[in-house]
Amino acid sequence: MHPDQARWDERYRNTKNIGKPAGVLEHYQHLLPKQGAALDLACGLGGNALLLAQHGLDAYAWDISPVGIQTLAEQALHSSLFIQTEVRDISSEPPEPESFDATVVSYFLERDLFPALINSLRPNGMLFYQTFTQKHYSDSGPGSPDYRLQSNELLKHVKGLQVIAYHENYLPWLNAPVDEACVVAKNK
């Protein structure tokens, strides 16, 4: 068992909430492709995957937590949505090259995965990414700076993609300062 699996299983076991989509995906969903394969990477309870499936995409959801994946699978069945779920350690099994038309990552940061993440996008594939920054406006998110982005760091990781939208420490749909950054970027 991966060391993080038990921690995430416990967290998901003790929540009554279904997964909610990331703000970056909700706000920019009009940029999603009309068809194709879309991945919710490190999906947790799968709010992004549910939105991707509702949009008519072939939705895939990967997470290290069997509890999170089972909860998502039950919610998808209840909502009459098909989502291909998989318990997967994405650190050791990242996405394959040119396998997705859209990928969403929210509140997960593993810097070494960015090259594989970008390579997994098909031509014109879209990346929606949102996570915490080191500048604090709240007590939410991880305490360790290792799991928080430095100023403008997210832009460096998506170099080579066409940036469509970028926000740091302010999200227009919230109209408030936050300790998060997000990007929507397109593969060329």
Closest CA to 61 of 24, 51, 121, 8: 51
Q: Which residue has the tokens 């060391």?
A: 3
Query: What average pLDDT does this structure show over 76-86?
Result: 96
Question: What whole-number distance in Å separates Cα of residue 85 and Cα of residue 93?
Answer: 15
**Quick check: 44 pLDDT over 90?**
yes
Q: For residue 102, what are the β-bridge partners?
A: 38, 126
Confidence at residue 5, expressed as pLDDT on a 0 to 100 scale: 84
Using DSSP bridges, classify how beta strands 100-106 and 162-171 pair: parallel, antiparallel or unpaired: unpaired
Q: What is the pLDDT of residues 126-136, one digit of tens each?
A: 999 999 999 88
Q: What is the pLDDT of residues 49-67, one digit of tens each?
A: 999 999 999 999 999 999 9
Question: What whole-number distance in Å separates Cα of residue 168 and Cα of residue 152?
Answer: 8
User: Do the Cβ atoms of 43 and 8 come closer than 8 Å?
Assistant: no
Confidence at residue 16, expressed as pLDDT on a 0 to 100 scale: 66
Distances (CA, A) of 91 to 32, 124, 138, 140: 26, 25, 28, 24
Number of H helices, E strands in the chain: 6, 7
User: Do the Cβ atoms of 186 and 166 come closer than 8 Å?
Assistant: no
User: Do the Cβ atoms of 155 and 181 come closer than 8 Å?
Assistant: no
Q: Where are the domains of the chain?
A: 3-186
Question: What whole-number distance in Å separates Cα of residue 108 and Cα of residue 132?
Answer: 8
Q: What is the CATH number of domain 3-186?
A: 3.40.50.150
Model pTM score: 0.94
Computed over every residue of the chain, the mean pLDDT equals 93
